[in-house]
Amino acid sequence: MAKERETTRAACYANAAVYTPHGIIERGLLLTDENGRIAAIGDSAEHGVPADVPVYDASGLLLVPGFIDVHIHGGNGFSVMAAEREHLDGISRFHAKHGTTSFLATTTTAPLEQILHALDAASSIVLDDEWDLGGAQLIGIHLEGPYIDVLRRGAQSIEDIRTPSAQEIEQIVEAARQQIRLVTLAPEVDGGMEAVRQLTGLGITVSAGHSNATYDQVREAVRAGLRHTTHHFNGMSPLHHREPGLAGAGLTLRELTCELICDGIHVHPAVVKLLFEARGPLNVCMITDAVTCAGLPDGDYGDVTMHGGQIFLKDGSSLAGSALTMGQALRNVISFTGLTLEQVLPSLTVVPARQVGVSAAKGSLESGKDADFVLLDQELNIQQTVVRGKTVYRRGSDE
């Protein structure tokens, strides 16, 4: 059982470079309150601090919004599909060490009963008022599959691919207690367009992924409400000059926001640069797609093998998720694109918050929002992760 969250105390972080929606405050101050929200942001030299509030000197550090990962299957030996609080807590703690402050528990294509069990476990924690995960906050569920295309299934189970129906979608939404925020499906499969309309009508963001859709089929799905693509360029119909496919649709249709696994393995650095140049950071959603063995040593793990950061099915037929963290993704995208930290931060913060409907509370450093932030050194290494005002990770500490 995870340790219950300690009582949150007001705190002040001073003298950091604070990255706000309106620019960088070079010697900035961020004040949190006892409810785990941001009470104030300003200049350290000009802003007063209540006498009973501890002040932490963050000189030389960068204070940025916490990273939001809408596509996590696991990490450090823990799995969403295990459908246990211990596993979800382990995932939460592992990813918090790498700057993630909020995440969606992401399912895989599996027998329906197993999916329903995972949805029940994750939604129970989302609705738990005790805030008892030890790291990043679980803010909802990403249902990836089982309504996908066989050809583009990647590492997803072919035996468990299903045809969507209105009745089954109702069953899934009910099992998740309305906590599904994102659904990945193939809109071109039988019943796919109807599923897009049904899920969109329920306020759920629908993403095209593990899909062999043509460009015209994607355009039809966009008209039905599609607004997102899953791990763009991976598990989808590729760009061809006579048939742009889903890959081309993501590059050109302004309604779509594209997920990206920026590990230099799933997508070549030059193509990462292409996507950012074509769509801009406000239309790219950085994810990890991290799986159970992320963070563990190289070796064999069930049906997959990991070597040098690459995770494949043992038969070598497909990549099987990633070992990426959001902290490394941030450093990679800056290296691959030549963009600045300020330019790329929205792809890890503002964009995912917008795509899953949590912008009112998360994604940027503003008074009244949750005190979710990360302190980075000048090399962009994670020094401290704060979730709703509580330090859940500090480099060199067991917290």
Per-residue model confidence as pLDDT tens digits over 348-362? 999 999 999 999 999
* Closest to 123 measured CA to CA, from 105, 136, 111: 105
d(C-alpha 65, C-alpha 41), whole Å: 13
Does 220 lie in the same domain as 84? yes
Domain that holds residue 30: 11-64+364-394
d(C-alpha 365, C-alpha 370), whole Å: 8
- Percentages (nearest 5) of helix, strand, coil residues in the chain: 30, 30, 45
Is 289 annotated in the active site? yes
pLDDT of residue 3: 45
Number of domains making up the chain: 2
d(C-alpha 18, C-alpha 43), whole Å: 9
What is the value of pTM for the model shown? 0.96
186 is in an annotated binding site: no
Per-residue model confidence as pLDDT tens digits over 79-94? 999 999 999 999 999 9
Q: Which two tokens stand for residue 206?
A: 């629908």
283 is in an annotated binding site: no
**Mean pLDDT across the stretch 111-130?**
93
Q: How far is CA 198 from the centre of its chain?
A: 23
d(C-alpha 289, C-alpha 265), whole Å: 12
The answer to whether 227 and 197 are in contact (CB under 8 A) is no
Q: Is the pLDDT of residue 399 over 70?
A: no
Does 192 lie in the same domain as 264? yes
Per-residue model confidence as pLDDT tens digits over 219-274? 999 999 999 999 999 999 999 999 999 999 999 999 999 999 999 999 999 999 99
Does 58 lie in the same domain as 71? no
pLDDT of residue 8: 83
Per-residue model confidence as pLDDT tens digits over 316-338? 889 999 999 999 999 999 999 99
Q: Is residue 58 part of a domain?
A: yes
**Mean pLDDT across the stretch 58-63?**
98
36 is in an annotated binding site: no
155 is in an annotated binding site: yes
Q: Is residue 5 part of a domain?
A: no
166 is in an annotated binding site: no
pLDDT of residue 96: 98
Catalytic residue, candidates 69, 149, 289, 370: 289
Q: At 218, which CATH number?
A: 3.20.20.140
